[in-house]
Structure 1
């Protein structure tokens, strides 16, 4: 593992713990000589994370779509900044550059990016670990809901287990280092669901 992609808010959030966690994660990345891949903005948690990694001598690669360069205010002091034509191109490049993915507190965009890359892992499009850095309990309710999706048999337990949830950055990165993707396929789930649906239809 050489690079970690971090999805996080372009706002600092309400609690000071969020920015402190960005600094702690930055320190953990630099300590392990891991390059940061992130969304390229200089604001909020995104900017704080990048600034701290850079201040410690680490490398930071930003990826930002051209229509967000002014809205999110692109960071001009990075090791490298890629400007893409679209949001889709941005997300694709971040996945290609990174060896693991972390979601810190953030909004809809943060969640969307994390869920997409986790879905790609379920589909076998990559075998890279994904995780939530659960700062100040920010993802507690989401974790409860994801457990509910397993209980209701929309998500298989091994697929949920692919998503690390840790409140400590060091523990999260340690988990990534020993990650082994499950052998169960998303397509098995689909086949089972189709068989169940067909069986139930025959009862009607």
Structure 2
């Protein structure tokens, strides 16, 4: 093993010396820990061919069990799995509907995630993601409805806090998740050296959720 290690070191130094003598810039070797991979959209197609947003679930899911990872991470869930009627959480507070960021009162924003059946809409799921999206990894309530079905399975309905949006003038309109897309758990936030947080934040704030990872 020692002989093999010395041989590898010698080859590396020899290559570096050759590059130095020729005046060429040494080329950084590709990492052996992660192979080159294609960026894929929600259908599994290469985005260079489809022109659609990157899907981390499809891209990273080609090798990793992304569905399991997103489904077993509180970074993604944020209380969605425990979402319940107001006042019935472990806190006992009438304004909490979960034990996580999705449903637990946040005094920093002074906004209230509206539960189903409330007389007045404050913070819908879509606006929650616009407002707090930069603080979360995606997945969980950014892809999945409170009852467990995909957000894209919900019909736009201004009377439903999961499929509506409150505007600055007080008007409430329906929100179409199939048009906006959803924000999948963004693996790139932790696994890229320099993820583009500014571009992601801008996409989320604009409601272009499907493009957030792109």
TM-score by length of 2: 0.26
Bigger radius of gyration among the two: 2
- Which is strand-richer, 1 or 2? 1
